[in-house]
Amino acid sequence: MNPEDCIFFQIAKANQVASKFYKRWSQQYKLTATQSLVLSFLFVKDGVTSNELGQQAVLDSATLTGIIDRLELIGYLKREQNKNDRRAITIFLTDEGRKIAQAINTHIQEVNNDFLSDFTKEEDQTFRVLLQKIAKRL
């Protein structure tokens, strides 16, 4: 089999292109792509535990802790003791973090539209369904 016909190679290649694209526009916010992703998740649902955030963003605990530390240091996040579980920490956006996260989410919508501009609406829907199936399988 030609390696270029391997589905894993195609997925890796697409991921490389998408990651480069995402990384490039994240830099305008002076953030890494992963930091901007975490802010984006919190913009959609603020006040989640670090465990919930890690599951949503598909990040392990050590990686997420470092990201939260850096985002808290620059004033975009704050940690609070969880009211229901003293062992858990709840993560919130600060006012400044919310402004940046809103700009990031708006930009993500624009990037998505640009990235998928060659797709018909039906192709877009099919593409998303297929990506979800692949992600569930792996």
Mean pLDDT of the region 65-75: 97
- Per DSSP, the three-state class of 49 is strand
pLDDT-derived band at 119 (thresholds 50, 70, 90) equals: very high
* Partners of 80 in the β-ladder: 90
Taking alpha carbons only, the member of 41, 51, 50, 38 closest to residue 79 is 50
Average pLDDT score over the chain: 91
pLDDT, tens digit, 9 for 90 and up, residues 14-40: 889 888 888 887 888 899 989 999 999
- Domains of the chain, first to last: 3-137 (1.10.10.10)
Q: Does the pLDDT of residue 69 top 90, yes or no?
A: yes
pLDDT of residue 39: 97
In the chain, % of residues over pLDDT 90: 61
C-beta of residue 85 within 8 angstroms of C-beta of residue 48: no
pLDDT of residue 114: 85
DSSP string, 77-128: EEEEE-SS-TT-EEEEE-HHHHHHHHHHHHHHHHHHHHHTTTS-HHHHHHHH
Torsion, Cα 7 9 13 18, to 10 degrees, reads 50
Q: Does the pLDDT of residue 138 top 70, yes or no?
A: no
Structure tokens at 91: 């993560």
pLDDT of residue 75: 98
In the chain, % of residues over pLDDT 70: 99
Q: Does the pLDDT of residue 3 top 80, yes or no?
A: no
- Per DSSP, the three-state class of 50 is helix
